[in-house]
Amino acid sequence: MPSRRARRVPYSRKGAFVLPIVIAPDPLLATVCEPCDLSDKSLKRLSKQMAHAMYKNYGCGIAAPQVGVTKRLVVIDVDWDGEKGEKNPIVLVNPEIVELAGEPEEGGEGCLSCPGVTVPVKRQPWARVQYYDLDGELWEIEGDGLLGRCLQHEIDHLNGKTLFESCDAVTRIEALRAYDEAKAAGARPGDTDIEVK
């Protein structure tokens, strides 16, 4: 089985419609997503729309339930810096974590569906994920750092978990309080101003 780091997908045209981001606590975000049919031609269009929404909101990853679709589909691009650089999204169809390694490390995570906050979440630093591309070919992707964290975060979304369910119970209380404050202040997807300690 080949291993790869990237899958290039054109993501938008100027003036293209941007899918709205589903915001917590919408119950749709608690839904365990159904596997994609690999012959479903609409996945290509959906993945382009997801990538467009991700870039427009300065994210590095997005899962289908975050745009209202309960399918196991993820788009990531951890190398894009939001200002310059080439967009090179990786589309993962039916991704599954096959291995995690290393002692759990705490790192601040933001989420397009939980705007306004950065929440400390402990995750193992290295992940290996098996997935299909849009042509139905089986691949693996592995990485640590932001890539390892992003893979785990987005697959959590496919399993009905937001970052609030991924942090410890004490942090969750503070994170939800900060999130309410951020929403009241008008936080939008891509905002991560309040850092939860």
Task: Give catalytic residues, as residue numbers.
Answer: 154
As a whole number of angstroms, the longest Cα–Cα distance in the chain is 48
Could you tell me which residues come within 8 angstroms of residue 170 by beta carbon, excluding any fewer than 6 positions away? none
Query: What are the strands of the beta sheet with 138-143, ordered from one edge?
Result: 61-63, 73-76, 90-101, 126-132, 138-143
Helix H, strand E, coil C: the string for 126-181 is: EEEEEEECCCCCEEEEEECHHHHHHHHHHHHHHECCCHHHHCCHHHHHHHHHHHHH
Whether 178 and 191 have beta carbons less than 8 Å apart is answered as no
